Structure 1
């Protein structure tokens, strides 16, 4: 397949990196910032083109990887040359219907990836417009499977995907940072804290996955009557930590629904 990428920012870079590592497709790119497009060419061997329309005309699948505020400008430029090409949008909060309002009833795919696709451990929510054929759905799904776990959903779930998994790496990093700061406060160096806390989070997840442990089972295995763990857990409950985390995710979900 011939894959086109319009917009050469961080997420587009992760997508291009993953495709070049795991698949054999011709890739083309364009960015209004020529320096970014040139860097894409150098890093991933992607052919740099001179306009959005050139990308559409040369490719089977076009990934629009610009910010939500910029996507409609791109769509207006390409609407007359889209034809039966597959348009993939990764813009958070922009519905298929709003894309159709600009380009018409074309083959449109919404994808919500997260940054972990750059290590093939991403989570990608995908939904399709009704005009995308099953064979084409399979091609798009296969393309993104190389980047992590793909979940095909009804579009009504895309805002939840955005909040939970698009924003998720930032939330997880925030939790990890808090743990690192606690380790530093208790006397460990910054580097020791960083290394050991990452190992703690990674090891816990691997243990849960490999041994099919629930969160409750892990807590029960570690928590002793009158011990240190229950003291910490009780304090977390007293501070309503779980509720704050849930509320933060809901806020992200509500923001996704209200973008533009």
Structure 2
């Protein structure tokens, strides 16, 4: 299997590393030579856009403003184009005579193979190709197939979402230091707290409220903190942050 990565920036380089585990050859197309220094080994090779057209899969990971020019050079490509370009709709790619398209929205978790990757396919991608693409993407995290119309929601929830989670984690860290714990100890505790809580919900498939009530004892410490969170509007603030991000994502897609 031959895979090409066009654009070896932050996200493109991650895709190159992770997808190389399943590819015989990975062609890298990048206009800044310094970004290719770390890839001077097999199965990586430097290439141009024309050479990339002979790959089974192409990952398009360029900036939105550069996408149109690259797509012009890829006109007539018959493999599956995996686009991770923000805001670039499948229909826009199809205008360049590229019929097989997988639009993907990854988030920062892909760096540690714990990402979320939402994917939507053009009609010309048959079922075997869809499964093959999803199998490739699973090297980077959880893969969820969605309708393309839901991409703005995914952008807000899992694209912007990590930033909101980091703010919450930072708040936990500040509180821990205020209570006398060292930053080093607090960081380990807070990271494991969020990881364990998420894993608990993921594996039990229960609603968060179920576990919230299980942790809360009558007149105990937890319920006191929950009441304080409600008074401060924490829940409403988080919801509004996500909805504002969602509305902005809709605007960027011209809706």
* CA-CA distance at 1:146 after TM superposition: 2.4
Q: Secondary structure of the residue that 1:167 maps to in structure 2?
A: helix
Alignment of 1:258 with 2:255, yes or no, is no
Q: Which residues of structure 2 form unaligned runs of 5+? A: none
Q: Which residue of 1 aligns with 2:55?
A: 59
1:21-36 to structure 2, matched below 5 A, reads 21=21, 23-36=22-35
Q: 2:77·2:98 contact (CA, 8 Å) conserved in 1?
A: no
For residue 68 of structure 2, give the secondary structure of its aligned residue in structure 1.
helix
Q: How many residues align structurally?
A: 253
TM-score, length basis structure 2: 0.90
State the shift of 1:211 in Å: 4.4
1:12 maps to 2:12: yes
Structure with the bigger RCO (C-alpha within 8 Å, sep 6+) is 1
* CA–CA distance in structure 2, aligned partners of residues 59 and 210 of structure 1: 38
Counterpart position of 1:152: 145
Cα separation, 2, equivalents of 1:234 and 1:25:
56
Structure 1, gaps ≥5 residues long = none
Q: Distance in 2 between matches of 1:55 and 1:8?
A: 14
Superimposed CA distance per residue, residues 128-165 of structure 1 (whole angstroms, 9 cap, x where no aligned partner): 11122222222212111222221111111122122111
Match of 2:2 in 1: 2
What's the Cα RMSD here? 2.0
Structure 1 outlier segments of 4+, above 6 Å:
none
Q: Secondary structure at the match of 1:84?
A: coil
Helix, strand or coil at the partner of 1:256? helix
Report the Cα offset of residue 255 of structure 1.
2.1
Which residue, 177, 180, 193 being the options, matches 2:173?
Answer: 180
In 1, Cα distance between equivalents of 2:24 and 2:241: 39
TM-score after normalising by structure 1: 0.89
Contact 1:88 1:109 in 2 (8 A): yes
